[in-house]
Chain A
Amino acid sequence: MGELRYKDSVTGALVVPSGSNGAIKTQIASSAGAELFTSSNPGKVVVDGVSVNITAPSADTITATPVTGVKTVTATAAEIFAGASALSGRKKLLIRNDDQAVRMRVGASSVTQQSGFPVEPGAVVEFSFDAATAKAIYAISEGAAITVEVWES
């Protein structure tokens, strides 16, 4: 079985796909590591009828141990997170409204029972963050206190 590699188009070094130094060059190599197609041995790669997914580390990639927790959302807007405080350097925050009837709202500290992003009963809302920038998310119930499940990573 061979593998798909990415090579810097300027230096020729193998790189993690990041787009540095211009376009990414795709190199087809054998399982022994030898480049299969060169200028003296040209070849062709046909991708037909299949889908190709290329995944590289990104802001969405989980690198920290996730924290989960159950939180109570009341009629007072309060910061929402999974643990004892907001996870430092978090990239993801998922909140599931476990209540069967009461809607909640999430957003910045300006969130109220009438404004903010609504999260319906049973619904899940997901936030992605720049790990280097801490941003507090607040939640408020539109009615009685409700229970939500929270994931942070």
Chain B
Amino acid sequence: MIVTYTTSGNITEIVVDFSDENVELVGRTSVVGDQQKAEAYLPFFERDLRRNFAHLFPQPEQTNTMGGVE
């Protein structure tokens, strides 16, 4: 995930680009505050994007943990 911060006045824009994960998704938001505030908010923004656009991300392979019938 490539993250870019741009601060203008008391607003910091966050741009996250998932192209390095081979996912065509770019998220863009802004927070009130400096880059430090934006960095603190980033994990929530990233989680929301991965949840709302789960269909774009490769799903982990299912493993059978039940053991099955011998």
Contacts and interface: CB of A to CB of B under 8 A. Distances in A.
Contact of B27 (A85, A109, A140, A145): A85
Nearest to B36: A76
Interface of A: 69-72, 74, 76-79, 81-86, 109, 111, 136, 138, 140, 145
B64 interface: no
Contacts, number: 55
A148 B33 CA distance: 22
B37 A84 contact: no
Contacts of A138: 32
The residue among A72, A78, A83, A136 with the most chain B CB atoms within 10 A of its own CB is A78
Contacts of B52: 69-70, 82-84
A115 B49 CA distance: 28
Nearest to B49: A84
B41 A109 contact: no
A82 B49 CA distance: 10
Contacts of A111: 32
B31 A77 contact: yes
Q: Enumerate the 8 nearest inter-chain pairs by beta-carbon distance, A residue then B residue, closest first.
A: A85-B28, A77-B32, A72-B44, A84-B27, A69-B52, A78-B31, A79-B29, A76-B41
A19 B4 CA distance: 49
